[in-house]
Amino acid sequence: MSRFSKLLSLSQRALPRKSPSHLSRPWTGCCAASSRLFSSTASPSSQEPSILKSSSPASSTAAAPATGTTTMETPTVARAKAALEAISGTHPIYMDFQATSPLDYRVLDSMLPYLTGVYGNPHSRTHEYGWEAEKAVEGAREEVAAVIKADPREIIFTSGATESNNTILKGVARFYQNRKKHIISVQTEHKCVLDSLRTLQEEGFDVTFLPVQTNGLISLDDLKKAIRPDTVLVSVMAVNNEIGVIQPLEEIGKICRANKVFFHTDGAQGFGKIPLDVDRMNIDLMSISGHKIYGPKGVGAAFIRRRPRVRLSPLLSGGGQERGLRSGTLAPPLIVGFGTAARLCREEMAYDHEHISKLSKRLIDGLLAIPYTSLNGDPKSRFPGCVNISFSYVEGESLLMGLKNIALSSGSACTSASLEPSYVLRAIGQNDEDAHSSIRFGIGRYTTEAEVDYALANVHNQIDFLRNLSPLWDLVQEGVDLSTIEWSSH
Instruction: Give the residue numbers marked as catalytic.
Output: 414
Rank residues 333 and 411 by Cβ distance to another protein and give the closer one. 333
Listing DSSP states for 291-314 in one string gives TTTT--TT-EEEEE-TTTT-----
Contact with another protein (CB under 8 A): which of 30, 32, 82, 108? 108
Residues in contact with another protein, shown as a per-residue x/- string from 165 to 204 under the rule CB under 8 A:
----------------------------------------
Contact with another protein (CB under 8 A): which of 7, 32, 57, 413? 57
Contact with another protein (CB under 8 A): which of 351, 431, 477, 485? 351
From the CA atom positions of the chain, what is the Rg in Å?
28
Rounded Cα–Cα distance for residues 168 and 315 (Å)? 9
Containing H/E element for 207?
strand 206-210
Size of the site for another protein (CB under 8 A): 36
Half-sphere exposure of 157 (CA within 13 A, CB side): 27
Rank residues 194 and 406 by Cβ distance to another protein and give the closer one. 406
23 belongs to the binding site for another protein (CB under 8 A): yes
Rank residues 90 and 416 by Cβ distance to another protein and give the closer one. 90
> Min. distance of Cβ 53 from another protein in angstroms?
8
* Contacts by residues 247-250 (CB-CB < 8 Å, ≥ 24 positions apart): 247/186, 247/217, 247/218, 247/381, 248/217, 248/218, 248/220, 248/381, 249/276, 249/281, 249/283, 250/280, 250/281, 250/282
The β-bridge relationship of strands 155-158 and 231-235 is: unpaired
Rounded Cα–Cα distance for residues 374 and 207 (Å)? 32
Rank residues 171 and 295 by Cβ distance to another protein and give the closer one. 295
450 belongs to the binding site for another protein (CB under 8 A): yes
CA 151 to chain centre: 27
401 belongs to the binding site for another protein (CB under 8 A): no
46 belongs to the binding site for another protein (CB under 8 A): no
| Burial of 351 per CB tally in 10 Å (0-12, 13-18, 19+) | exposed
Residues in contact with another protein, shown as a per-residue x/- string from 67 to 106 under the rule CB under 8 A:
-----------------x--xxxxxxxx-------x--xx
54 belongs to the binding site for another protein (CB under 8 A): yes
Ramachandran region, residue 401 (left: φ > 0; alpha: ψ -120 to 50; beta: rest): alpha
> Min. distance of Cβ 172 from another protein in angstroms?
39
Q: Which residues bind another protein (CB under 8 A)?
A: 1, 20, 23-24, 26-27, 51-55, 57, 60, 84, 87-94, 102, 105-106, 108-109, 351, 355, 405, 445-446, 448, 450-451, 454
